[in-house]
Amino acid sequence: MENQLNPPGKTTIAPEVLTTIARMTALSIPGVSRLSATGDVNQFFKRGFTSNEGVRIVVEDDTVYTDIYVVLQRDVNVRDVSRNIQTQVARAIAEMVGMEVGKVNIHVEDIDYSSQPES
């Protein structure tokens, strides 16, 4: 006799969960000072979930597309930090919620010259 297990139902994930994962992961990357508010008026005309916390999430066909708006610390390699954010955010979303990640776009909004240089 075949023992077939059927899932008890479906799981839905709120956009806020994806935003939190992306935000917390980006903030944990060395070289990131903070996230920048996404106050662009054009954001109102774009599809997707936008938070004031520097993260925009769009889910299409179970694929996550993310825009992250960051302020970086001074004296960091912008390309390296951006690539690290992309890699770590994509990994975190894929591992934590099991969704495919289409793109992680990084928008460097400013450099924080008030932060102390690392020793």
pLDDT category of residue 110 using cuts at 50, 70 and 90 = very high
- Judge whether 118 lies within some domain: no
Give residue 90's domain range: 15-112
- Judge whether 119 lies within some domain: no
Question: What whole-number distance in Å separates Cα of residue 56 and Cα of residue 107?
Answer: 11
Question: Is the alpha carbon torsion for 27, 32, 37, 39 positive or negative?
Answer: negative
CATH code, domain with 99: 3.30.70.1350
DSSP per-residue codes, 37-101: P---GGGGGSSSEE-TTSEEEEEETTEEEEEEEEEEETTS-HHHHHHHHHHHHHHHHHHHH--EE
The 10s digit of each residue's pLDDT in 35-54 is 998 655 454 445 555 556 89
Strand partners, 105: 67
* Mean pLDDT of the residues in the chain: 86
- Judge whether 3 lies within some domain: no
Higher pLDDT among residues 13 and 22, named by residue: 22
- Judge whether 98 lies within some domain: yes
- Judge whether 38 lies within some domain: yes
- Judge whether 28 lies within some domain: yes
- Judge whether 1 lies within some domain: no
Give whole-number Cα distances, 29 to 16, 25, 72, 78, 84, in Å: 20, 7, 10, 12, 7
Mean pLDDT of 60-70: 94
Number of structural domains, the chain? Answer: 1
- Judge whether 59 lies within some domain: yes
